[in-house]
Structure formats: C-alpha cells, structure tokens
Structure 1
C-alpha cells in the first residue's frame, strides 16, 4: 500500500547518486535492480535519465518503516 502525495514545485528531483546518499550509501546498482523488480521508490524517466522525486523516496521509506513496525509487532 503506497500513499503518494501530489508533487509540488518545491519537490526536488534527485539523481540516483543523490538517492543513494539519501539512503545511506545504497549502491546505485541496487537502485537499478529495485527499479527492474519494481520494489524500490518510484522512478521517473526523463529522456534517458532516471530521476526520483524526493517525496516518492520519502513515501517509500515511510512504507518500509510501517512494514518493519508490523513485522516487529507480530
């Protein structure tokens, strides 16, 4: 279950390297694998470039937090 907010003009567009840093150094190759498996944050394809909205990455992280909390509670 993903809750997404509408993008706004002040919602930064991030490169895979920036998302990697935001996620504590997750390898860019892992982000690519997550895109192909459709398990990571929603990515945008702008021309031949892959980008992520910061809000999409934050929503994905929130979802992972909820999954972890539910797992810990069971």
Structure 2
C-alpha cells in the first residue's frame, strides 16, 4: 500500500483546519518565510501563539487561523 503524501499545510489551512497540531516548519511553509522568522515571531510575541509539548514547539490550527484573521482586520483598519 502506497503512503499518501502529506497535504500542503497552506492548502489545508485555506480549505479548513488541519486535524493535527502544526510544527514551526509548517508555519514557515504556510507563510513562506524562513524558519528563523517563525522563531523570532515567537521570541518577540508577534506571530501566531505557540505552545510547548515537552521540548517541541507546536501551534494549534485554530490559533493560527485567529492570527491570520486578526492580521486581515488590522490591514483593513489601516
């Protein structure tokens, strides 16, 4: 049985929320930014809210969606 390829996280987020927590790599791919940018967002508290599971950083898709919506509202108000 062939292993199914993981869907593009950007397409999954646009079409609906993925059914798993997202990694920093997923966030970097979604927003088409370097991975270091994702870590800087976390350090500066300017990007989507993340959380730790042990030593691993994860993002709840609902928090990422809320972050995107807030950015859109901020742009519309500017």
TM-score (norm: length of structure 2) = 0.72
* Contact 1:11/1:53, CA 8 A, preserved across alignment: no
- Please say which structure displays the higher CA radius of gyration: 2
Unaligned runs of 5+ in 2: 1-17
Which residue pairs with 1:58 in the alignment? 65
How far is 1:32 from its partner?
A: 0.5
Bigger relative contact order, structure 1 or 2, given CA contacts below 8 A and separation 6+? 1
Which residue pairs with 1:16 in the alignment? 24
Aligned Cα root-mean-square deviation (Å): 1.3
Q: Deviations over 1:12-33 (max 9, x none)?
A: 200111111111x111111101
TM-score (norm: length of structure 1) = 0.76
* Contact 1:16/1:28, CA 8 A, preserved across alignment: yes
* Moved segments of 4+, more than 4 Å: none
Unaligned runs of 5+ in 1: 1-9
Distance 1:14 1:21 in 2: 11
Aligned pair count? 61
